[in-house]
Amino acid sequence: MDILKNTYKGSLALLTDFYELTMGYGFWKNNMHDRPAVFHLFFRNNPFNGGFAISCGLEYVIDYLNDFHFSDSDLSYLAGIKGNDQKPIFEPAFLDYLKNMKFECDLDAIPEGTVVFPHEPLVRVKGPILQCQLIESALLNFINFQTLIATKSARINIAAKGDPVMEFGLRRAQGIDGSLAATRASFIGGCAGTSNVLAGKKFGIPVLGTHAHSWVQAFDDELEAFEAFANALPNNTTFLVDTYNTPKGIDKAITVTQKMEAKGYKIAGIRLDSGDLAYLSQLARKKLKNAGLGHLKIVGGNDVDEYILASLKQQEAEIDSWGIGTRLVTAFDQPALGGVYKLSAIQNREGQWDDRIKLSEQSIKVNIPGVQKVKRFFKEGLMVGDMIYDEQTDLSGRIKIIDPADPTRSKVLDKQNLECKDLLMPVFRKGQCIYQKENIHDLQKRTSEQLQLLDKTIKRFINPHSYPVGLEEGLYKRRLELILKYKEESRNGHSRNR
């Protein structure tokens, strides 16, 4: 199913920042619009001060590029944009070029649900520089947000230690598309289901839910409200017990449950959505067991994140599953991933790739040159290191990786005793999608399997161990040479397009 096409009926070519179009126009005016270039999409720091991230959003990228075109309405809008002289910015011939332009790039990406780390290219785009440039903003929009939420979901599910986590964030999500993308990413990250019915329909995610406080408030008595709800949905009843007084609400839920079970119905459980969840859940479990209803499930919520959940687990809270909304779908403690999309190589007249980097006073912001790939190494079933390397590099000899931000951190990878695999997979070739979309349940399974390959010290929330990711030694030296060269040129007053 084409998610974007079924949600937004028109062209999405204008889902871009304006400077992408002005640069594209500049490339066209300088007759360099077809010059082959390579861009990489990556992030510089793990989100949430954690040790890893979960790649997500590729299916949106595929749908967007499969239908990438400028409609007549798009071109009419662009024709009306004027510069400081009140004349049109884009000349008609350029707009005609956009109208007839076909997407022709190669695109490689790390599959969704894969554990990833800073500096690794999640997406690599190779093709005419104008086309590479035009798609930058949309790709960042899709990958940044969904990778962030999938990572948050994975962290929460790690804290839950196998308890089902339900995503309840629709009402707090950032708009319609924000809620849909967040629900999708939350499921890929490990959630068991969602309250978002539209997302359930679009993505094939189980929909879950109970009732709100308003249901109880609509009746004169809480006991009457529970009885009415149980009679209406005897096969899908979980009582929200904290509308007025939680201990008394638990007692009333027990009364109604005993009546329903005497009639042969099976009540699912109760839900706690406020107060001291550790204390109240333990109280509820004691009351349920004393009433012979120890089999009922207790659902917990109330602005929970991975830290609160881990604390509740440590306090032995008697909660069987978790409903989490705001702090999941908004990535409450870090609202953006900070992924970037950088030019790293451009083809010269001889058909060879010339490296490109961006310099910065901050070493972490100096990007990696070349046409990059990522190779992951394994030992005894665990991930032990990732290497970022140029696709033309000869890897027959010794492999040494060097941290791009700290040259004192390096690691030698013994190919004889390690297994390895490349992470970037072909998705588009010359504008044609060759990648088979994956079922969302398979993506969720991949996330779970990937996390099992990661050492526990990297998955902890406080001061996680740093997973080894480095540049292949030759690529590291090339990058350093470029940095020194460009800085020398800058000191000598030479200009250089970076």
Interval 123-176: pLDDT, tens: 999 999 999 999 999 999 999 999 999 999 999 999 999 999 999 999 999 999
**Whole-number percent of the chain with pLDDT over 70:** 98
| The pair of three-digit structure tokens given for residue 352, joined into one six-digit string | 């060879």
- pLDDT of 483 > 70? The answer is yes
What mean pLDDT, rounded, does the chain reach? 94
pLDDT at 7 over 80: no
pLDDT of res. 18: 98
Better pLDDT: 422 or 493: 422
Give the start-end residues of each E strand in 129-168.
165-167
Taking CA atoms, 50 is separated from 118, 383, 458, 462, in Å, by 11, 17, 8, 8
Report whether pLDDT(495) > 60: no
Query: DSSP letter at 48?
Result: G
Q: Give the model confidence (pLDDT) of 456-474 as tens digits.
A: 999 999 999 999 999 999 9
Q: Does residue 307 surpass a pLDDT of 50?
A: yes
Whole-number pLDDT of residue 1: 56
Angle 295-167-284 from CA coordinates, rounded to 5°: 30
Share of the chain above pLDDT 90, in %: 88
pLDDT of residue 230: 97
Does 290 score more than 70 pLDDT?
yes
Six token digits for residue 229: 């709800």
User: CB-based contacts of 294: which residues, under 8 Å, 6+ apart?
Assistant: 285, 288
pLDDT at 498: 40
Rounded average pLDDT over 28-33: 97
Mean pLDDT in residue range 71-83: 96
Q: How many CB atoms lie within 10 A of CB 456?
A: 10
Does the pLDDT value for residue 336 go beyond 90? yes
Over residues 208-217, mean pLDDT: 94
Q: What pLDDT was estimated at residue 359?
A: 84
Domain spanning 210-302: CATH superfamily? Aldolase class I (3.20.20.70)
Closest CA to 214 of 229, 195, 196: 229
State phi, psi for 278 to the nearest 5 degrees.
Answer: -65, -55
pLDDT score, position 401: 96
For residues 492 and 136, the model is more confident at: 136
